[in-house]
Amino acid sequence: MSTIVVETFLTLDGVLQAPGARDEDTEGGFTHGGWQAPLFDEAMGEFVGEAMAHTEGLLLGRKTYDIFAGFWPKLTEDHPDYAFGQIFTDMPKYVATRTLTSADVDWENTILLSEDIPAEVAELRAQPGGEIKVVGSGELVQTLLEHNLVDRYRLMTFPVMLGTGKKLFAGGTVPRALELVESRTTPAGAVITVYRPTGEPTYASFEPAH
């Protein structure tokens, strides 16, 4: 089976919107674009590279795909991230969308999922392979959670709070229990955690039994 991995950059208060550039995503009047860049150090870069080595495909929502397609395939060879752009271009990119059509797509190796997205993702997950990575795509993550289609969460939480913006786990998130698989910190103060879903939460009380 392939592994569906939700991998995302987060603020301490759970915001995932527009980490990389000032004008990346201003939806909802968001004014904090580029919040991650000052805290992205060499150790974080090494971790992202390690994770990329296991990635065989991307699974993206429409909005995140538009951001990626507007940036990565357009990098020139003198750009420091050109190699990453080539990796993304070469790998399959599965896009969960009911508004995008093949006529709108000019980024090679893009595959649209538009009929029954949970069923199509389940089919992808059942195929032999490595990691299929979900980046950003907060609305898509909620759909995957609802249908129990996430195998790992790889979260990179940075020491900054914004108080506004799109969140990975917002109101209405389906309850899940998680097991910590890995954790590490970077010199810039980011905390990297990897979690594995283990089922529904369990409940107890600190009150003494009678």
Q: Is 47 helix (H, G, I), strand (E, B) or coil?
A: helix
Q: Is 106 helix (H, G, I), strand (E, B) or coil?
A: coil
Answer yes or no: pTM beyond 0.85: yes
Name residue 82's beta-bridge partners. Answer: none
The model's pLDDT over 36-70, given as tens digits with 9 standing for 90+, comes to 999 999 999 999 988 888 899 999 999 899 989 98
The model's pLDDT over 75-129, given as tens digits with 9 standing for 90+, comes to 989 998 888 889 999 999 999 988 888 767 889 999 999 889 999 999 999 998 8
CB atoms within 10 A of CB 6: 25
Burial track 184-199 (b if 16+ CB lie within 10 A, e otherwise) = eebeeebebbbbebee
CATH class of 3-199: alpha beta
Name the token pair of 147. 């249908």
